[in-house]
Amino acid sequence: MTIHLSIVLFLPLAAGLVGAALGARLVRWVVLAGTVLVLAYALVILVDFDAGSAGLQYVTDDEWISELGIRYELGVDGLNLFMIVLTAVAWVPCTLVACFREHERPRLFFFNVALAETAVLGAFMAQDLALFIVFFDLMLVPFYFLIGGWGQGDRVRATTKFVIYTLAGSLLMLAGAVALGVLSTPDGGQISFSLAELEQRSVSEGTQQWIVLLFALAFFVKAPLFPLHGWVPDTYRSTPIVVLALLSGVLSKVGVYGFLRIVLPVMPEGSQHWQELFIIVAVFSILYGSVLAFSQDNVRLVVAYSSIAQLGFIVLGIFALDDKGAQGAVFQMLNHGLVVVPLFLIIGVIALRANGSESVARLGGMAFRAPVLAALFLLVTFATLAMPGSANFVGELLVLFGAFEDKLVYGLVASVGVVLAGVYMIRVFQRTMHNREGPPVESRDVGGLDLAAIAPLVAVIVALGVYPHFVVERTEAATVQKIEQARAFGGEQEARAPGGQRTSLPPPGDEP
């Protein structure tokens, strides 16, 4: 089957442009149709994908800026397959809900929603470092307008902090990428930013160390992780709920994905040098996020800080540099997105029934007259706290197994976060669905629109809990290959070809 990634990449943007041209009444439906077509195309890719291959599939590779060695290179493998699917899955229900809400300047709003999907898809598909940075920075533009133009409360302050943190991280990564491309170019050779080419080239271990640090700062801001999460409280309070679901559920994954796609395979010595520090950051983020989630009264901030903890688990799995841990990290990237999106949509439903209130102390008693809403919320809550039988349980178990393999103490400390997650999520569910009904609460069941948006996502969560192997078998080969590359080229095991270039790795399990 011939699959053109450029079609799925630019389809949302095309829908946004066409919809904006057709006018305010049609733009929402054109953009919604675009997201549905992207989802259909992503599912075709998922069905057609060769699960046993670790290499790139459906590759598009053309010259873009030849003088700078920048190529328009796209591809799909086990690392980004489910990130593409997650993006497509998340955008449909969020756009659907947005279509039935009133927005000022709807043409601009829905155009930015469409542009955001193209930017995120581009970051996941890019196989050229410069192209990745283009899409990584492009993501900032639509979310800047969506938060600043349609947010609530002190949205100017929230947007300012979001832009400052994100832009600072992006500029640091840009500097690191340029240095990597220039310093890795052999004498008399042509500069290249192709990730496949950079994996074969070499820079000194000392150079790798400071370049890895620049990339890590950008990725920790995007994730976010402690201590670069300062933009989170204000931004989460002010962002429209459907935009926040996309920001937390999908956008945050680009940062942690960048470690597996770029940092580990391209700069393995530098990654191993900072391994201990990054694991400490991950473990501290798990504990910090869990403790603060327990102490919050605003439901949004409970989910915000729980997300910091979950992203900490993902980074722990990546930098355990263990096959199981990395597979768990990739699985958790998908699981977290699938859980957070319906969780925020449910928060939006709850707020509508409480006159806009999102205070845990003022909510309560909804379950008695909203059993369907309570059931959906309960399933998502169980998934969030990684109950046995859920996909999150499998993901966190793989991460902890990977950490226990070589970083036992850190794994044991991180396990505390699993316990704390049970405490703060059960607290939120009980206080919103049970207890005495709060004064502003109008208890009624979920409507048809919200049910159509939330129920399919919950069904996917349940399905992955029943059959997690569907994801693991498709991500295993590519994930293990990246971890093996990082381990094989680290320290004394470094392999070099004449001229300072790295030798190619054999496939995992094969003898060199």
Q: What is the pLDDT of residue 334?
A: 93
> What length is written for the chain?
512
* Contact (CB, 8 A) for 132 and 79: no
- 37 Cα distance to chain centroid: 21
pLDDT value for 509: 41
Which of 489, 491, 509, 483 minimizes the C-alpha distance to 201? Answer: 489
Token pair, residue 372, equals 């369907």
- The answer to whether the CB of 157 falls within 8 A of the CB of 37 is no
- The Cα 364–Cα 375 span in angstroms is 15
Report how far apart, in Å, the C-alpha atoms of 158 and of each of 52, 117, 144 are: 45, 22, 10
**CA nearest neighbour of 143 among 217, 225, 254, 46:** 254
Query: Tokens at residue 254, please?
Result: 């680009």
Give the per-residue pLDDT at 440.
60
The secondary structure of residue 260, as a DSSP letter, is I
Structure token digits, residue 164: 């400052």
DSSP secondary-structure letter at 66?
G
What pLDDT shows up at residue 489? Answer: 60
Separation CA 131–CA 135 (nearest Å): 6
DSSP E strand stretches across 296-414: none
List the one residue out of 483, 491, 488 whose CA is nearest residue 504.
488
**Closest residue by Cα to residue 87 from 238, 252, 240, 276:** 252
Cβ count within 10 A of residue 511: 4
Can you say how many angstroms the Cα of residue 193 is from the centroid of all Cα atoms in its chain? 23
Nearest to residue 260, comparing CAs of 285, 280, 246, 278? Answer: 278
Q: How would you classify the pairing of strands 70-76 and 57-65?
A: antiparallel
Residue whose C-alpha is closest to residue 504's, from 190, 265, 264 = 265
Cα dihedral 431→434→438→444 (10° resolution)? 120
pTM for this one? 0.90
Mean pLDDT in runs of 10 for the chain (512 residues)? 84 94 91 95 92 86 87 92 95 94 90 95 94 93 92 87 90 92 86 89 86 93 87 90 92 91 91 90 89 84 88 90 89 92 90 76 73 87 82 86 79 77 78 69 73 92 90 89 76 40 41 36
User: Residue 439, Cβ neighbours under 10 Å: how many?
Assistant: 11
